[in-house]
Structure 1
Amino acid sequence: MSEKPSDDQPSASELPDDVWEQFTRDTERDIRASAPKEPSARARMVTERLRRQEERGELPPGWRTGPDPLAANRRAGRRRKLWAVLGVPVAAAVALVALKPSLLPGDPFGPDGPGDAAASPLPAETAAPTAPPGGSPPRTPTLDEPFAGSPALRWADGAAGIVPPEAKAVGPASKDRVAQALELTKRLLVGANLDPRTLRGARPEAALAVLDPRQPKLLDDLNTALRSPSERNDPLTMFSRFDPDETRPVGDVVKTRGRMTFEQGSHAGVVVHADYTFVYPVTRADGRPEVARTIVRRVIDVELPDPTRYRVTPGRLSVKKYDEEIGNSACDVHDGYLHPRFPSSDDRDREPTGPTIDPYDRSRGIDDGGPCGTVTRT
């Protein structure tokens, strides 16, 4: 309930003069502020220009009212719905991978789960190792996993494991000549040890094409060994070859590890020293699902002389020295092929007779093992 004003409250006529004058000024100010104002000349020009643009259709719809808040909400709603649709399968996939990481492409955590570095690739070898590679968990190689249980599992595949060093000028040999020598050496190694035709027992034409025909003694010996293999002329001293009637390769990967170095040659050229090990997984040609691995290490010195000073064929290599060490191949068999022993082999007359060696040990010299050694692992 409202109260009736008392008769003793002052009327407007009884207010002091200064209060009444302040009231009058404030009222006039408020009236002026709320009164309509005549637009300036510039404002009238802008308004007229916008009107004409609107008539010509040059302004977007809704330019007078600003953005539609409902449209923005609709777009946000679509984004939320999209995330709701994607969120469920993504969350399920994350949970599934957490339970079984091997489902990821390439099995990034290795065969034994997260943190296992067993299958992580090794960096390229740039210096002689100081010890043999560590032991691997004992696993039987299979057709699906031919390098299981082998240190070579971490080695590079094929030619990717032959990484020449950076070329630099040495003595009178220019940087380009050194680079040429390194590239030719790689071609020789690939043609002699990785070319599928060579591995199947065919003539290693790609490797022979790199050698200088003006070095006739070497080529004569190699041609004789390929044509009529014997203990004296054995093509395995330079080439890796398997008998296609006895074995066939498992997959198309040969594991490779090694290094190259170079130095000034004696014929105004450059000498390249190569030391590489190749691991070959094979199975029986008769279809029995057994897998064996043969390991071949090759050490070779080749020279690219200066053809302007010596009677040599430009772009061809002269072989100065070569040697090999073979692990897991029959002894005293000189038919020009490697003969790996399989788990079920019973040919006791072809047992290795030399000292025990680790074919993966690249820290020792190649002459330390002797001929036809007994391997500690394959």
Structure 2
Amino acid sequence: MPIAEDPEPRPSEGRAPDGADPSGAGGKDPFADLVLDEEFVRGAAVKEPAGRTRMLSARWQHTPPVDPGGRRSVNDGPRKAGRFGRAPKAVDPWGNARPRPRWQAPLYVLLTVVVLLGALNVDGVRSWFSTTFGAAPDRSGTSAAPVAPETARPTGAPSPVDEEQPTVDRPWAGSPAKDWPTTMDAFDLPQAPGAIGVFGAEQVAAQVKLVKDYLAAANLDPKVIAGGRPDAALAMLERESRDKLETALARPSKEDDPTSAFDRFDPREAVQVADGVRLQGRISVEGDGEKGVVVHTDFTYVYALRPGPEAAQRATAQRPTPGAPAQSPRSAPPAPPAPGDGAVKPVGLLLPVADVPGDTRTARTIVRKTEDFRFYDPGKYQNNPKKINFGKRRSEVGNTACEVYDGFLHPRFPQFAQPDPERTGPATDPYDRSKELTARGECGTITRS
């Protein structure tokens, strides 16, 4: 092994030719008293590199080192991003790839279980989806552009539509109301009415909005349609009009029938489909001749309904109540079409709706109302100009039991068809809005629903 040479050769005592002592140590070894303690090491000005370090430094001066790849150290710094901006794989301080958590396997197992459960209970999945996210879109034909609200009375009935049996998934199959508006917000006056009588333009606009809010609360609120109490609508009425309807709700009769103002169904018999209301009509405003305001409305509401859990029993037990004709004409449904799918059960084998597999056949009830809402001059009458007073009102209902006055409408479902009582009224088209409503009080049939 080579030995490193001293930087300066040690002087040999008495070996100089002239006998002089070149070190000036007087013949004494200069390192004899040197103590290599901690103080000496800390005070050293130059640190001697290790032998391997000196060897590698000399070698790399002529041949630089080559990175073999695959391993990294903590001194290499952060790894560059991969292709397409993907994050680099995580490594430990020695350059080895860190193990990733195996989360894919549990996820695949969970998804497999969900798919199997869904395949075993397709009807439950459909029902949950319809309840959570609304009914599936109606696929009963090519989707047409939405029908615009009326600006004047139409000259005839809507065009015929191919007859199709509506179901829960396709509630508007075979109905002219398929593309009608769904909210009262779609109906505005053709132009601002301006000031009328003692009411300024802003007051008249507020009165029109109040009427629209009342119509929505009375006819479009899902809770009211499901048989609930129409508290929001009642709160918008003047005291006299509100008291009359309160009496009708508490003690319904043919003289005080709350369905003349509120479209309500008994949830044990009929349940509204999620996407279950279409409406068409118009609003107009004029003075009442006494410095007040009259808001005229003419609307047709179409309700898509599925059978309730007691629909079959009620269809067989329900019979019309004898008495005088109804104040508003009511019509029975048309003759039921032949079953078009395998979901229809014979009347004697009916199950509750929740237990019927596949698409459940539905029905539609069509209600047309013409109503006048009055706002009197507060200088002449003791009334609140921000509350509604009823004026003339008329209504007509298609597909409901005749002469039944219990505060609810009673649609007939084709799968529960029963012999109808004798009907003396003519067959009418409930979608025809070109004619005036009359108070003829006849119980007839409708040509379509």
Would you say 1:145 and 2:170 are equivalent positions? Answer: yes
Verify the 8 A CA contact 1:173 1:264 in the aligned structure 2. Answer: no
SS in 1 for 2:168: coil
Q: Mapping of 1:169-184 within 5 angstroms?
A: 169-184=195-210
Q: Structure 1-normalised TM-score?
A: 0.65
Pairwise CA distance, 1:353: 4.3
Q: 1:125 to 1:292 in 2, by over 3 A?
A: same
Picking from 427, 430, 443, the partner of 1:356 is 427
Q: Which runs of 5+ in 2 are unaligned?
A: 1-83, 85-136, 310-352
Q: Deviation string for 1:226-285 (max 9, x for gaps)?
A: 011111211111110000111111114310100001111244221110000000000111
Q: Report deviation, 1:305.
A: 2.0
- Shift of the 352–331 alpha-carbon distance from structure 1 to 2, 3 Å rule, reads farther
Q: Offset of 1:184 from its aligned partner?
A: 1.2
Q: Which residue of 1 aligns with 2:388?
A: 317
Distance 1:225 1:206 in 2: 16
- Give the count of matched residue pairs: 265
Aligned to 1:136: 161
The match for 1:305 is 376
Q: Deviations over 1:10-41 (max 9, x none)?
A: xxxxxxxxxxxxxxxxxxxxxxxxxxxxxxxx
CA contact (8 A) 1:300 1:321 kept: yes
Contact 1:279 1:294 in 2 (8 A): yes
CA RMSD in angstroms comes to: 2.3
Query: Shift of residue 111 of structure 1?
Result: 5.8
Show the counterpart of 1:156. Answer: 181
Bigger radius of gyration: 2
The structural deviation recorded for 1:304 is 1.5
Q: Residue by residue, what CA displacement relative to the aligned partner does 1:162-220 show, whole Å, maximum 9, x if unpaired? A: 3344332234432112101211111111111111111111111111111111xx2x333
Contact preservation (8 Å) 1:198, 1:204: yes
CA contact (8 A) 2:264 2:407 kept: yes
Q: Name the CA distance, whole Å, in 1 between partners of 2:221 and 2:421.
A: 28
| Deviation for aligned residue 1:351 | 6.4
Distance 1:351 1:259, change over 3 A: farther
Q: Which has the higher helix share?
A: 1
Q: Is the contact between residue 181 and residue 303 of structure 1 (CA under 8 Å) also seen in structure 2? A: no
Higher mean alpha-carbon deviation, 246-255 vs 268-277, is at 246-255
Q: Percent identity?
A: 43
Give the distance between the partners of 1:274 and 1:282, measured in 2 at CA: 25
Q: Which residue of 2 aligns with 1:332?
A: 403
Cα distance in 2 for residues equivalent to 1:230 and 1:354 = 22
The farther-off stretch of 299-308 and 328-337 is 299-308
Question: Which residue of the partner structure matches residue 372 of structure 1?
Answer: 443
Q: Specify the code of the residue in structure 1 equivalent to 2:154.
A: P
State how far apart, in whole Å, the 1-side matches of 2:283 and 2:234 are.
20
Aligned to 2:362: 291
CA drift of 1:159 comes to 2.4
- 1:359/1:375 contact within 8 Å kept: yes
Q: Check the 8 A contact 1:182/1:272 in 2, yes or no.
A: yes
Residue 370 of structure 2 corresponds to residue 347 of structure 1: no
SS in 2 for 1:373: strand
Q: How does 1:229-308 map to 2 (within 5 A)?
A: 229-286=252-309, 287=353, 288=356, 289-308=360-379
Q: CA deviation at 1:158?
A: 2.9
Cα 1:162–1:373, aligned 2, differ >3 Å: closer, same or farther?
A: farther
Is 1:208 the equivalent of 2:234? yes
Aligned partners of 1:243 and 1:162: how far apart in 2? Answer: 29
